[in-house]
Amino acid sequence: MMGASHASTGHRLRLLSYNIQVGISSTLPSHYLTKSWKHLFQARRRFDNLDKIAHLLRGHDIVGLQELDAGSYRTGYVDLTEYLAQQADYPFWYHQLNRNYGPLAQHGNGLLSRLRPAEVIEHRLPSLIPGRGAMLVRYGHGAQSLAVIMVHLSLSRRARRNQLAFVRELANQHRHVVVMGDMNCSPSSAEMVELFRTTGLREPLEELSTFPSWRPQHHIDHILVSDGLQVSDCHVLNHAHSDHLPISMEVLLPPGLVLE
């Protein structure tokens, strides 16, 4: 994590969750084939696309990113979390490495923040195939702190059920909670319904389709908030720089919840 101190945002907090597909601009079905080489090899235009993504991130206080690389051959050994933090002027950043393939790939999740976290804890999510993780980032102190949990869940429903049970245990330890990320399932799926039933988490009622970016039909990217956080705005940003679209949310913080 890098950065210097930053003032509190007051009573409004802008959040964003985005699966950036390692900076690959897959905006057509055919790109999964024609651009698949970018998962292994260096590409100059990757950073042109990342600069566009960095522009989208500006104006948000906390950003959760999925499918980044911490610096390997395919990115020219550039940590993409750090790169986006620098390009978008975020003083704090953190990369969670979930799949270490040595010089070939350093795959994981990323946090960008304008506020100084009081604590960042990495968790390994249960899965038959290792490589899924969650970051718990806490802002403030004591009962009036805010816990932000960022995840990228598995494709398997059985794995997601176990992973969301793990997330439930984390979330229920905190009064004010945000859970966001690529969950690879809809809000009506059995595993998400169970999460809503056993926690105080919820999300806006309107459908927020984010995948695929060229014809969004699936609501698999989410920002969930606990009861004490009031959502004043939530929408999908219609800018296709990945095979997912990003979700942006503004929440009103309750009195007494001051972030540092």
* Predicted confidence (pLDDT) per residue in 65-99, tens digit: 999 999 999 999 999 999 999 999 999 999 999 99
Whether the bond between 254 and the residue before it is cis, its omega within 30 degrees of 0, is no
CB neighbours of residue 109 within 10 Å: 26
Average pLDDT, the chain: 92
Q: What is the DSSP string of 188-212?
A: TSHHHHHHHHHSS-B--SS----BS
Tell me the two tokens of residue 227: 């009861």
pLDDT beyond 70 at 4:
no
The predicted model scores a pTM of 0.93
Domains of the chain: 12-252 (3.60.10.10)
How far is 96 from 110, CA to CA, in rounded Å? 6
Residue 28: the pLDDT is: 79
Closest to 177 (Cα-Cα) out of 93, 96, 251: 251
How far is 11 from 173, CA to CA, in rounded Å? 23
CB neighbours of residue 12 within 10 Å: 12
